[in-house]
Amino acid sequence: MNLAAFPLFLVLLCGACWTLVYLDGIRLGLRDRTYAIPFWALALNFAWELLHSVLGYQQMGPVLQVWINAVWFLFDCGILYTYFRYGRQWFPQHLRPCWFMLWSLLGLGVAFVIQHAFIAEFGRSVGGAYGAFLQNLLMSMLFIGMLVERGGSAGQSMTIAVSKWVGTLAPTILFGVLGGEGFNGPNRFILVIGLLCSLFDLIYIAILAQTKARERRGEAVAVMF
């Protein structure tokens, strides 16, 4: 591969992998009557992709990354639908249903405030990168928590797990090793956060594979090593 084209390959790989995450998330949410992305990670993703679709278009026009962000935002709308449609079952049942809606709307509002604060403090490119990697690390840990909470693989798949890992590893190399848009060379902070994402993603892949194997054999599910 031409080294000059390698950054573009990483962008496309990231875009393709996360698109798989979102598409399978919608499919599993509808099939299993649940939601496939942990809520706080979903809220941060929803806010990030809307803000960076709009601001990216205003500043750069219809470039590749802006199109990718816009497509991701549309898929996030689908996942958010499954959350509001089926997520009440994972909310404390002793609380009135209205509190589920209020809590969810509060979460979305907080996510927009956080993402806007990153942009206001660091600028669109750098703030977007920092926000994306930190929410990605949160998502990596929340996936493990979701598997433990549900006690099984409902709403989860190896397609999501592996695509999430590769889709995060690609921009980790781009920004943490090569140096991406808005950075003067490789960024050690992003490299560290990206590697931590890989650590937790691989842990999740391992325990999800173990859980699915037990489910196929009809054994009691154990989601701990």
Who contacts 84 (Cβ-Cβ below 8 Å, separation ≥6)?
101, 104
For 114, phi then psi, to 5°, come to: -65, -45
The number of residues making up the chain comes to 225
pLDDT score of 225 = 46
DSSP annotation string for 66-89: HHHHHHHHHHHHHHHHHHHHHGGG
Tokens of 86: 């089926």
Q: Per residue in 38-48, pLDDT tens?
A: 999 999 999 99
CA dist., res. 177 & res. 127, Å (int): 18
**Other CB atoms within 10 Å distance of the CB of residue 89:** 10
The angle subtended at Cα 118 by Cα 54 and Cα 125, nearest 5°, is 60
Is the full-model pTM beyond 0.95? Answer: no
**Would you say residue 220 has pLDDT above 80?**
no
Alpha carbon of 222 to those of 28, 35, 141: distances in Å?
21, 21, 18
Tokens of 26: 């919608």
Give the position of tokens 């999800």: 208
pLDDT score of 106 = 97
Q: Per residue in 106-159, pLDDT tens?
A: 999 999 999 999 999 999 889 999 999 999 999 999 999 999 999 889 999 999
pLDDT score of 38 = 95
Q: Per residue in 192-218, pLDDT tens?
A: 999 999 999 999 999 999 999 998 888
Q: Per residue in 156-206, pLDDT tens?
A: 999 999 999 999 999 999 999 988 777 778 899 999 999 999 999 999 999
**Would you say residue 91 has pLDDT above 60?**
yes
pLDDT score of 188 = 93
Name residue 13's amino acid.
L
pLDDT score of 1 = 56
Distance of CA 220 to the CA centre of its chain: 29
Q: Where are the alpha helices (DSSP H) in 96-187?
A: 97-122, 124-150, 158-173
